[in-house]
Chain A
Amino acid sequence: MLTTIEKLIFILLVAFFVGFLALRGFWGIYKIVRQGRPAPALKNIPQRMLAAVVQVGLQQTIFRSRPWLSVFHAFIFFGFSYYFLVNVTDLLEGFAPGFELVYGGRALAAAPTGLVNLFNLVADILSVLTLLGMIVFLVRRFISRDQRLRFNEGVLLNPRVQAGGVARDSLIVGGFILLHVGSRFLGQALRLAEHGAPDPFMPFASLTANLFGGLSPAALDAGIHTTWWLAIGLIVLFFPYFVVSKHIHLMVAPINLGLAKQNPRGQLDDASPPGSDIQPGAANLLDLAWPRLLDAYACIMCNRCNDVCPAHSLGSVLSPAAVEVNKRYLINQNFAALAGGSAPPLSLIEHVISPQAVWSCTTCYACVRVCPVGNEPMADIVDIRRSLLIQGDGLDSGVQTALESLSKNGNWFGQGKRARPKWSKALDIEIKDAGKEAVDYLWFVGDTASFDSRVTPLTQAFARILHHAGVDFGILGQAESNAGNDVRRMGEEGLFEQLMENNLKAFSASTFERIVTTDPHSLNTLRNEYRWNGNRRQVIHYSSLLLQLFESGRLQVTQPLSAYVATYHDPCYLGRYNGEYQAVRKLLQHLGVALHEMPRNCENSFCCGGGGHIWMGETPPGERPAENRIREAVTTLTAHAGEGKQENWLFVVSCPKDLIMFSDAVKTTANDGAIQVIDLIQLVEQATGLDKA
């Protein structure tokens, strides 16, 4: 038990460090986050919070990547969580006369021995595991120097981050955890040494107690007091540091997960709050929506988003992690002014992310998907683009050309509106105009499938397949415009609105039951973002329709494709954004294609580098995402088929943009002839014999 003086000092420390400094800091954080712009309203917050606690409790979001490190994180997490309880008993040990839990709590008359033994055993084991986890983390950062904790050359970083601020913070936090947990553990060992007997329910502490066998009772008592202060006193002193440290993630991450976006992944938040006349997008820190400010506090700076980012992982100056880290350091530097509402505008492209990085994002959603704490750096980037577009500064010439063509012609190919259905004229079958006669399926063709000469043969083939299967379908013809998915993600909200209005007008002038499209990008915005005003139609991907046609027998496999060795690339907007992984896989199985998954598949698929990004006139040097992906496919198939046996290798795609991106990448990686990029349409044609019809 503590002396009276010690107790007094402790109470005063708690009052000042926790009751004043830390609380003032937390209140400041609350005030800063509240200054962010409104975000879409959230529903069922208590249930969401509870779900987040369960998610964190099971460490689900952490195990999305880096499994081994996640195990060590789990050690620290469970240790720390359990220490909430442990610390309560430590306080009692300090303040309640005679309170002690060693040996099943025999010092206490009414102690439930079994329960106390269990408590001691878990505490003993978790203390050791926490120390182990922490040591692994420190070794990884400071001794083996994991490169994933670094940023690429040229990434805009806050000067304090540049000067090693994150490492310093990590060292302080790591040191705190080692001292806190280590001292508590040693304190228990000292108690056992004082009593001179091991406790079978505290095996590690008992083992350690042997080290103190020779110490005098006075020395043991001094040791118990010192370790108590290092364990419990330290927390009190450490509390205000949470306000500036990334370690606050342990409090904010569950809150951030509980308050995470509830709209579909494929639905961007509005450019400015509905009904307001605030400038769209974000130029300065406080133009960001409040969840983006909270993100900065949830971020633990683990850089898992960098690993999966098609830009950063291939050496670009874009780092989604740096967006969060820079925001946090910017807030820390201006904390008092921001909390007091007197901060000057803090430019995002000056302090948080460079314009070059802003335009390097392919909006593939991998960073958001992988983030263990529910951050959305991609949302910051889109909002910054929206603001840059309104200012009209530094727009890439290729993007500008595409946007101008989209506003004039409704497509980014620089071709006239009238040329859109040209592909259908060369067909020997008549395609219905959904504006003139009622159809079951409205086929939303999209730009690439309408205009790109490498894709139009497949567009025609898909028409023949639908015709063969007796599907009642039609197109909008000239009345179709680009759906606007990529336009919106490039930040051109006004043009997106215009394209959406054009298409909605064409939809209401047509009669159809549902929409089918081969383009995942169109699918995403039609399904998740269009304002259907009560007239919502089901939007399905052609993979689902084809599967359905086979399952219902309207299409028959006459020539199983068993000679192929194939892998499949999940398109971002079909997979990660819309959760559709199985239709294609079932379809391939149906066609008899042997599928071998790449390491990065389904939710963890790796972006082809396309989207609106393919409009960019300037692309950074070095390996392109599609090339990286083709190499992954070749490695996968080599592992399966064996070296030098490149026969009938297929790289299956289900997106017109993928066909183009990967066909190019096959050539530029000198894999021409080794692996063939092939669309589902071509496979279905072969399996049904329609290619020879």
Chain B
Amino acid sequence: MNIVVALKQIPSMADELPLNAQGSNLDFDEVDFVLNEFDEHALEQAVLVKEKSGGAVTALGVDLIEALDDVLYTALAKGADKAIKIVGDFEPGADSHTQAAWLAAVIRDLSPDLVLTGVQAANDLDGQIGPMLAAHLDLPYVGVVTGLEVAQGVAKVHKEFAGGVVADIEVDLPCVAGIQAAAKPPRYAPISKIRQIAKTAQIAEAEAAAAGPDAGVTLRRMAKPVATGRADMLAGDAKQVAAKIIDILTERGLL
């Protein structure tokens, strides 16, 4: 079975997110990029399916900022069999529709049985890569998946709805699934293994196809939230604090 995982790097939330001078987007020179957390789950789910039902896992992604190699080496260390990076002249903020088009062009040639990707990513939060891949590849799509098994040409997909309702869905292969959480927490890849792989493994390169239609939305302005109101901390011992509370309540006519 041929499993493909589409990975995407996004700005690290561990840092503060500085804006560019125009205030039109992040200052991409001043942020670190990390793998989208949901994509880590997609990769883990792909490796779990492979370990249970056999097959091979191909990890691929768009090399937006020329730093995808480490992500792909890590994927190989975690159990992927093959890695592909899509290269070209990119904007670091390329939107999900555009990325989906580049990814789909490469994935189509891989004739996958199963395509997994994170259900969404923290940067654009639109959850579009999965559905767009499915549309480009003309395959069925299930999103918000929290577990997936494969048997006899069918993917059995576990999905959680709001209010604690769960559903088990059968989807004919090939299909695309947007992973919310893998059946197990993503495994740890020891750095020595990643470094070993980095010395020996080959990452295939694919040229990005001409970009298709973008998301149709334009980012006009990006700004930090403005603080409105703030909390006052009441200092002092219990009696003093109690007295202050009474004052405040009286002042507002609540007592």
Q: Of B30, B32, B188, B195, which is in contact with the most chain A CB atoms at under 10 Å from its CB?
A: B188
* Bound Cα distance A395, B195 (Å): 20
Inter-subunit contact A498/B15 (CB<8 Å): no
Which chain A residues border B187 with CB–CB below 8 Å? 392
B residues in contact with A416, CB < 8 Å: 12, 14-16, 32
**Band of interface residues on A:** 20 to 34
The digit string for B193-208, where 1 denotes a CB below 8 A from any CB of A, is 1110000000000000
Pair B14/A498 contact, Cβ less than 8 Å: no
Verify A418–B188 contact, CB threshold 8 A.
no
Q: Known interface pairs A408-B34, A494-B195. Does A392 touch B189 (Cβ–Cβ under 8 Å)?
A: yes
Nearest A residue (CB) for B35: A408
Contacts of A418 in B (CB 8 A): 15-16, 30, 32
Q: Which residues on the A side are within 8 Å of B16 (C-beta)?
A: 416, 418-419
* Proximity bits, A405-417, B CB within 8 Å = 1, else 0: 1011100001111
Residues in A with CB closer than 8 Å to B189 are 392
Contact A498 B191 (CB under 8 A): yes
Overall SS of chain A's interface: helix
Tell me if A404 and B188 are in contact (CB < 8 A). Answer: yes
B14 and A409 contacting across the interface, CB-CB below 8 Å: yes
Q: Is A433 an interface residue (CB 8 A)?
A: no
Cβ A494 vs Cβ B188 within 8 A: no
Contact for A403 among B32, B34, B188, B193, CB less than 8 A: B188
Main secondary structure of the interface of B (DSSP, over half): loop
Give which listed residue, A400, A409, A414, A417, contacts B188 with CB less than 8 A: A400
Contact with B along A384-397 (1 / 0, CB 8 A): 00000110100101
The contact size tier of chain B is 10 to 19
- CB-defined contacts of A390 to chain B, threshold 8 Å: 190, 192-193
CA of A395 to CA of B188, assembled, Å: 8
The answer for the CA separation of A541 and B14 in the assembled complex, in Å, is 30
The residues of A that contact B194 with a CB separation of less than 8 Å are 494
Can you list 20 A-B pairs, Cβ within 8 angstroms, ordered by A? A389-B190, A390-B190, A390-B193, A392-B187, A404-B188, A407-B191, A408-B32, A409-B32, A415-B14, A415-B15, A416-B14, A417-B15, A418-B30, A419-B14, A494-B190, A494-B192, A494-B195, A497-B191, A498-B191, A498-B195
A495 CA to B193 CA in the complex, in Å?
Answer: 10
Q: Mark A612-638, 1 if CB is under 8 A from B, else 0.
A: 000000000000000000000000000
CB distance from A429 to the nearest CB of B (A): 23
Residues of A within 8 A of B190 (CB): 389-390, 392, 492, 494-495
A611 within 8 A of B: no
Instruction: Tell me if A493 is interfacial: C-beta within 8 Å of chain B.
Output: yes
Q: Are A414 and B192 in contact (CB under 8 A)?
A: no
Name 13 extra pairs, CB < 8 A, besides A419-B14, A497-B192: A280-B192, A392-B188, A400-B185, A405-B14, A409-B12, A409-B14, A418-B30, A419-B16, A492-B190, A494-B194, A495-B190, A497-B191, A497-B195
* Contact between A397 and B185, CB atoms less than 8 A apart: yes
Q: Are B191 and A494 in contact (CB under 8 A)?
A: yes
- In the complex the two chains form, what is the Cα distance from A395 to B189 in whole Å? 11
Alpha-carbon distance A3/B201, docked complex (angstroms): 79
**Complex: A494 Cα to B190 Cα, angstroms:** 7
A497 and B187 CA atoms in complex are apart in Å by 21
